[in-house]
Amino acid sequence: MKIAAVIVAAGRGERAGGGVPKQYRDLAGKRVLARCVHRLHQCGVFMRIIVVVNPLDRDHIDAVEGELGFRLDTIPGGATRTASVRAGLEAASETGAEAVFIHDAARPFVSPALIDRLVDALERHQAVIPALPVSDALLRVGDGGAMGEPVSRDGLQAAQTPQAFHLASLLDAYAQLGGTALPDDAAVVRAAGGEVALVAGEAENFKLTTPEDFIRAERMLMSEAITVTGQGFDVHRLETAEVMWLCGIEIRAGLGLVGHSDADAGLHALTDAILGAAGAGDIGEHFPPSDPQWKGARSDAFLLHAIKRLHEAGGELVHADITLIAERPKIGPHRDAMRTRVASLLGLPEKRVNIAATTTEKLGFTGRGEGLAAQAIITARLTP
Ligand code: CTP
Ligand code: MG
């Protein structure tokens, strides 16, 4: 079955506060919407992921795209969730999809197992949603904010998203709805007289609604985070030249590094370290020296690619430490500029980047001034 996903992300998140619509808030190093898209993207089920946004949020959307390393397929939403879903459905119906998952951007913890349960049930049902039994005793609020009637929780469950539908039947239900706004899409199907099957929801798949939900989410992620390191090493031959590129800056000291690209050994070691932490092989594998397109290439591009791979692996850089090993050029005068440049490329504060230099006491190829070596160690946090 061809399935499209629609993520509704056009709300203002007023109950959550925080100054920024909640789907754009940072959660343990990654914005909520980026986490949400990442989860849906990773499971490989969806032919398209359409994100319904408020066009006023363009700067936030750019930041999410930066974290994900790819562009989002966005369309403008409306004043209510119902209106935003309608816009999403219109876009989904142009994709040739037979089924659609509608998901709240405010639920970043949807699991692959839950998506599988929904896909599986969609084989037998027109509409399927995850639901969880409520555990607290329920009540109606009475006069003056005091407790009114108790409400039996027998047979009551709480609905979650993603909610999954055969596209034609959901379009039909929305066509019958007219101008009313309902809380979710299953309610729209029920209003049109359709049946909605239930699969087990997940407590972890809670919706970020209040400031307390953000605290809970942050704690949950941090408790599952692990710290990893990656290391890289690179050598390039030294020659007489006007310009040398090292750690992303230009040094004019009558020396250059020989290589296929700009031969920036510092950035190459750093790139390998980041690829290492991402478990993504090495620089030669991603940018083969035999490939003419990398001739003379600036190493910034290699580094940014490695960062993207780390993000894809759920990683976030924490710290980078580079050691340059050479008799010449003198690194000291350039150290601050290197640190500033590397920090900016990595998106880290300068205090989390270190540039060290050493000689090898005139020993070996570095000691004889034949080449320059660089090694890098990076620390990254992997969150689920
Ligand atoms: N949503 C939307 N368009 C709207 C309103 C809501 O796309 N006009 C989306 C939200 O971005 C969210 C989901 O619908 O992902 C569920 O809505 P809710 O949790 O109520 O989010 P907000 O409306 O943003 O929050 P609040 O009600 O606290 O303002
Ligand atoms: Mg709302």
Residue matched to tokens 């640190």: 339
Q: How far does the centroid of ligand 2 lie from the alpha carbon of residue 14, in Å? A: 8
Which tokens sit at 167? 């596209």
Closest ligand, as measured to the CA of 11? 1
Reading the chain (384 residues) residue by residue, the pLDDT tens digits are 999 999 999 999 999 999 999 999 999 888 999 999 999 999 999 999 999 999 999 999 999 998 888 999 999 999 999 999 999 999 999 999 999 999 999 999 999 999 999 999 999 999 999 999 999 999 999 999 999 999 999 999 999 999 999 999 999 999 999 888 899 999 999 999 999 999 999 999 999 999 999 999 999 998 989 999 999 999 999 999 999 999 999 999 999 999 988 999 999 999 999 999 999 999 999 998 888 888 878 999 999 999 989 988 889 899 999 999 999 999 999 999 999 999 999 999 999 999 999 999 999 999 999 999 999 999 999 987
Gap between the Cα atoms of 336 and 52, Å rounded: 43
Q: What string of DSSP letters covers 93-143?
A: HTTT-SEEEEEETT-TT--HHHHHHHHHHHTT-SEEEEEEE--S-EEEE-G
Which tokens sit at 14? 């007023």
Q: Tell the burial category of 245 from Cβ atoms under 10 Å away from its Cβ (0-12, 13-18, 19+).
A: buried
- Summarize pLDDT for 24-63 with one digit per residue, the tens: 999 988 899 999 999 999 999 999 999 999 999 999 999 9
Res 76: pLDDT: 98
Closest ligand, as measured to the CA of 105? 1
- Which residues, including other chains, have CB under 8 Å from residue 276's CB and lie 6 or more apart? 229, 230, 231, 232, 282, 378
Question: Domain 226-382: which topology?
Answer: 60s Ribosomal Protein L30; Chain: A; (3.30.1330)
Cβ of 8 less than 6 Å from ligand 1: yes
Q: What angle do CA 284, 290, 292 make, to 5 degrees?
A: 115
3-137+155-224 CATH, one of 3.90.550.10, 3.30.70.3040, 3.40.50.920, 3.40.50.740 = 3.90.550.10
- Summarize pLDDT for 339-367 with one digit per residue, the tens: 999 999 999 999 999 999 999 999 999 99
Q: With contact defined as beta carbons under 8 Å apart, do 211 and 110 qualify?
A: no
Domain ranges of the chain: 3-137+155-224, 226-382
- Helix, strand or coil for residue 316? strand
**Residue to probe by mutation, ligand 1, list 6, 8, 72, most atoms within 8 Å of CB:** 8
Secondary element (H or E) of residue 224: helix 211-224
Would the pTM of this model clear 0.95, i.e. be above it?
Answer: no
- Summarize pLDDT for 270-300 with one digit per residue, the tens: 999 999 999 999 999 999 888 888 887 899 9
Index of the ligand 1 atom closest to the CA of residue 12:
24
